[in-house]
């Protein structure tokens, strides 16, 4: 059991740093996209700085954390007696679906990161602000599933997450109005 707790601790540490990287990289996307609208030479200076910051965050923190979190998760699930028991539980199947969504979210962030590194701006900063909430929704779902360990009541959790998402979007619209008012737009 002690061995399993070490694995679980390491998994949790790298999940936290993975999410920290995902939260921050999208904020850097917002800033990099907004830097595109600045006049020269400010535009070029900011873009260069955000590219460096994004590169370091993505490849020194986010990717290694994702890989290590996954390694420790697979180790716990497939090479420990406790993991075999977890795999039999319905809530774990639901959690693994959300983890799959997290991998898809990460892959899309990789695509956006690569585009911005090539100075290809395909999204607005407002889209990125909303996109940033995707990781938050996945985090809420996974934490509630792991703590409650109930696959039946996850439906209530999903309804709660959707309501939370609506609140986030309303908060975003409110923030945008305040920001536009303060900038004179």
- Locate 102 and state its tokens: 């997290």
pLDDT digits (tens, 9 = 90+) for 57-114: 999 999 999 999 999 999 999 988 888 888 888 888 889 999 999 999 999 999 999 9
Report the residue count for the chain: 185
State how far the Cα of 72 lies from the Cα of 10, in Å rounded to an integer.
Answer: 7
pTM: 0.85
Which of 28-32, 75-79, 97-101, 176-180 is predicted least confidently?
Answer: 176-180
Report the number of distinct structural domains present in the chain. 1
State how far the Cα of 60 lies from the Cα of 130, in Å rounded to an integer.
Answer: 25
Binding site per annotation, positions: 11, 95
State how far the Cα of 138 lies from the Cα of 106, in Å rounded to an integer.
Answer: 11
Binding site per annotation, positions for heme: 11, 95
How far, CA to CA in Å, does 77 sit from each of 42, 72, 74, 113, 138?
Answer: 50, 9, 5, 31, 20
Which of 9-23, 26-40, 83-97 is predicted least confidently?
Answer: 83-97
Give the domain range for residue 25: 2-183
- Region 7-28 average pLDDT: 97
């Amino acid at each position: 059991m002690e061995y399993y707790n070490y694995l679980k601790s390491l998994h949790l540490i790298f999940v936290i740093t993975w999410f920290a990287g995902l939260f921050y990289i999208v904020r850097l996307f917002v800033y990099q996209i907004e830097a595109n609208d600045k006049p020269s030479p400010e535009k070029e200076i900011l873009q260069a700085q955000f590219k460096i910051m994004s590169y370091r965050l993505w490849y020194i923190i986010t990717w290694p954390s994702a890989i290590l979190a996954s390694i420790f998760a697979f180790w716990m699930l497939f090479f420990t007696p406790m993991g075999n028991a977890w795999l039999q539980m319905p809530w774990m199947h639901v959690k693994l679906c959300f983890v799959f969504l997290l991998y898809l979210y990460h892959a899309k962030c990789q695509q956006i990161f690569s585009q911005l590194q090539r100075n290809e701006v395909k999204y607005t900063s407002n889209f990125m602000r909303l996109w940033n909430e995707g990781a938050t929704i996945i985090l809420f779902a996974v934490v509630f599933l792991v703590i409650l360990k109930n696959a039946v009541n996850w439906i209530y959790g999903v309804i709660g997450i959707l309501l939370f998402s609506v609140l986030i979007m309303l908060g975003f619209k409110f923030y945008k109005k305040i920001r536009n008012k303060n900038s004179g737009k």
